[in-house]
Structures are given as structure tokens and as C-alpha cells.
């Protein structure tokens, strides 16, 4: 029902907690047309916007500031990669390159993040600079969202947190580097990315799961969550830095039309889980598997020795692998992020707004 036309207006459903009319001012600041929005009995807030975007540039809905200047296709982007994935200023250049890839593919990028406790969908250039340069940003997963808001924190959002926020804002296509999953030797340390993928019916483009993980258990966890794992022009579940893992995908799609058809079937059937499109790192940016495996083994051993736990595990392992492999892993990371952004843009453009 997303995006259906109604009397010349596009009907956008924003999932909200039940609101009453006296709360509208707080929930829908920025919408200037009385009578153009309506609150249903079920608590679904229906926001009607004209087909031509004449709405104020930012809209505050359900505690989020939405700054998306289009009624066309949009791709959500995460920000943990900015705050915890890549060093400054590489991260800034990369965000701008990634956003450009989305635009070139015919969609509009919307980077999600939290600045001084405000949840923002579609960070402006200046806001991205603030986030990238924040002295001690928080890594915000699903469970951290209320705390980040309460404490007025500045935070990069993980795949799980970004999915929740983007979905609430009405976005359905999302690009990232690699998802979190099940950690090696710690089968109960399962990223909330996995459960989020089971909960939000979005299309998520990635290069598989982070190679530091137990990829075989991660595949099993995705199955449990009902996530359809698609290989884009591949039969193998990619391993982030490298194109192969020895594990299979659920279905192979060789072009964007096929992916769009699969997404439409999922939506028609009202399945609740994400479609995870796995796009292997471009061959010219791939990290040789032997180099990658050696660096990961060393990083894991050191992390065990240092007793690193909880949310620090993923960023510290990735940072160590990056130190050990130098330019090579950075090249892979940058290459795959751009390629995923492009593919997500193409899928969003094909699906339409």
C-alpha cells in the first residue's frame, strides 16, 4: 500500500504509536495543511503529501526529523560505518561518494544518524561533518536508541537501528557494507542486525556478513529469522572483504528486475522479513582470502586475550583487521560500499517510490 495514489495525493503510511488530535502539533510539525492528514483508529498516522513536493524541507514525525527532498525513490544509509567503521577524513569522502552513487542510479540517499539526541533521516552535509568529527560518538544499535535520545548523544546507527528508524520513516530500501551476525566461538553473541532483518520488510543490500563472524552460523540465524538471502550474480554468500565463503545463498538473481519482482512477491504476501541482497565486493577491490583469513585469526586471538566484549567486539576486530591489512582492506571496504549503494539505488529506482 506504500505509495498508493489517492485523489492526486500520495498516501504515505508512517508507523506510529497511537496519537490523538491534540498531539498532532507535536507529531506532525512542519505540515501546514489542516485536513490533509488524518489519524486512523488503529493509530496509523496517514500523511498525505501532494505529488509535487511542496512540503517544508523537514518533517518531524514520531520523534524523528525527516529531511528528504523528494517524493521519488529513496535509499537509506547507515552511519555506524561513519563513526565506527572508517577513519576521519576517509569516512567523509566515502559518504559523499556513496551518496553520489545512489543519485547516479536514480534515487535519493537518506543517511540515518543521531545528533545531540535527535534522530535524523537524511542528514545534511553539515550534519554528516558533525557526526564524522564527533569526539566520542556512540555506536547505537536497536536497544540503544532510547538512551541515545534521552542522553542527547551523538551516535552512528548500526544496521539494526537504521532499519528501525528508516522503516518508521517509510523507507524500504537500505544499503550497507556488511551485516552483523553470529560471533565465532560465541554462538549467543548474535547481532541485533539479524533480528532486525527478521522484523522489517525492507530490501537490504550488503556484501554478506562481516568476515570476522561465524558465517555458517550467521546463515543459519538468517534462516531462522525468515530472511531471503539473494546472491546478486552469484551463488555464494559473500564474505565482505572477499567474494567467496563456501556457503550458498537462497536464490540467485542476475539482474535488478528479478530482484524487484522478488520484493514485490514478498510484499504481496505480506511477509515480515527483509530480503537481503548480497552483492560481492568488486573483484578488483577484493582482499586475497589468505591475507584476510590470517588477519582475522590474529585479530580474534588478540581480542580474546584482551577480554573484549559486547558492542566493542565488532568495531575493534574490524579496526585490527584494517591495521593488519592496511590499504587493502580499506580499498575493499570503500569499493563494496559504493557498489552496494549503486545497486540499492537501481533497485529503489526499479521499485518506484
* 95 HSE (CA, 13 A, CB side): 31
Burial class (CB in 10 A: 0-12, 13-18, 19+), 324: middle
Owner of C-alpha cell 580499498: 331
Q: What are phi and psi of 24, to 5 degrees?
A: -55, -45
Minimum CB separation from Mn ion for residue 82, in Å?
20
List the grid coordinates of 329: 582492506
**Which positions from 161 through 190 interact with ligand PSU, judged by CB under 6 A?**
177, 180
List the grid coordinates of 7: 485523489
152 classed as catalytic = no
78 classed as catalytic = yes
Site string for Mn ion, 166-195 (x = CB under 5 A): -----------------------x------
Site string for ligand PSU, 115-154 (x = CB under 6 A): ------------------------x-x-------------
List the grid coordinates of 317: 576486530
User: Which value, in Å, is the radius of gyration of the alpha carbons in the chain?
Assistant: 20
Minimum CB separation from ligand PSU for residue 280, in Å?
17
Owner of C-alpha cell 504476501: 269
Give the residue, chosen from 55, 66, 80, 239, that forms a contact with ligand PSU under the rule CB under 6 A: 80
Minimum CB separation from ligand PSU for residue 208, in Å?
13
DSSP 155-187: EEE-HHHHHHHHHHTT--EEE-S-B--EETTEE
For residues 317, 323, 324, 328, the Cα torsion angle rounded to the nearest 10 degrees is 110
In terms of CB distance, is 193 or 346 closer to Mn ion? 193
Minimum CB separation from Mn ion for residue 57, in Å?
37
Q: Which of 101, 127, 210, 346 is catalytic?
A: 210
Site string for ligand PSU, 287-316 (x = CB under 6 A): ------------------------x--xx-
Q: Does 203 bind ligand PSU (CB under 6 A)?
A: no
In the complex, the residues that contact ligand PSU under the rule CB under 6 A are: 78, 80-81, 84-85, 139, 141, 158-159, 177, 180, 191-193, 311, 314-315, 318
Amino acid at each position: 500500500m506504500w505509495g498508493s495514489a489517492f485523489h492526486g495525493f500520495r498516501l504515505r503510511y508512517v508507523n506510529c504509536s497511537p496519537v490523538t488530535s491534540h498531539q498532532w502539533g507535536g507529531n506532525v510539525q512542519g505540515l501546514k495543511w489542516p485536513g490533509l492528514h488524518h489519524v486512523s483508529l488503529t493509530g496509523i498516522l496517514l500523511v498525505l503529501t501532494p505529488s509535487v513536493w511542496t512540503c517544508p524541507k523537514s518533517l518531524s514525525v514520531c520523534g524523528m526529523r525527516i529531511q528528504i527532498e523528494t517524493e521519488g525513490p529513496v535509499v537509506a544509509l547507515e552511519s555506524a560505518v561513519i563513526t565506527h567503521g572508517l577513519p576521519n577524513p576517509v569516512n567523509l569522502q566515502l559518504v559523499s561518494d556513496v551518496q553520489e552513487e545512489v543519485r547516479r542510479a536514480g534515487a535519493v540517499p537518506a543517511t540515518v544518524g543521531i545528533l545531540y539526541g535527535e534522530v535524523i533521516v537524511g542528514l545534511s552535509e553539515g550534519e554528516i561533518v558533525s557526526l564524522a568529527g564527533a569526539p566520542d560518538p556512540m555506536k547505537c544499535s536497536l536497544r540503544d536508541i532510547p538512551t541515545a535520545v534521552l542522553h542527547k548523544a551523538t551516535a552512528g546507527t548500526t544496521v539494526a537501528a537504521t532499519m528501525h528508524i528508516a522503516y518508521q520513516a517509510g523507507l524500504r530500501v537500505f544499503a550497507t557494507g556488511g551485516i552483523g551476525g553470529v560471533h565465532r566461538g560465541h554462538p549467543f553473541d548474535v547481532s541485533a542486525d539479524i533480528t532486525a532483518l527478521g522484523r522489517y520488510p525492507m530490501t537490504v543490500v550488503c556484501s554478506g556478513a562481516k568476515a570476522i563472524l561465524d558465517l555458517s552460523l550467521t546463515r543459519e540465524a538468517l534462516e531462522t529469522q525468515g530472511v531471503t538471502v539473494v546472491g546478486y550474480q552469484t551463488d555464494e554468500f559473500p564474505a565482505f572483504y572477499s567474494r567467496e565463503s563456501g556457503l550458498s545463498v537462497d536464490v540467485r538473481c542476475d539482474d535488478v528486475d528479478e530482484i524487484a519482482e522478488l520484493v514485490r512477491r514478498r510484499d504481496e504476501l505480506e511477509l515480515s522479513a527483509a530480503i537481503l541482497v548480497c552483492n560481492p565486493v568488486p573483484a578488483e577491490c577484493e582482499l586475497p582470502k589468505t591475507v584476510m583469513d590470517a588477519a582475522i585469526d590474529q585479530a580474534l586471538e588478540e581480542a580474546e586475550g584482551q577480554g573484549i566484549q559486547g558492542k566493542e567486539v565488532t568495531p575493534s576486530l574490524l579496526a585490527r583487521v584494517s591495521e593488519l591489512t592496511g590499504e587493502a582492506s580499506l580499498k575493499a571496504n570503500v569499493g563494496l560500499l559504493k557498489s552496494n549503494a549503486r545497486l540499492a539505488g537501481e533497485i529503489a529506482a526499479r521499485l518506484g517510490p
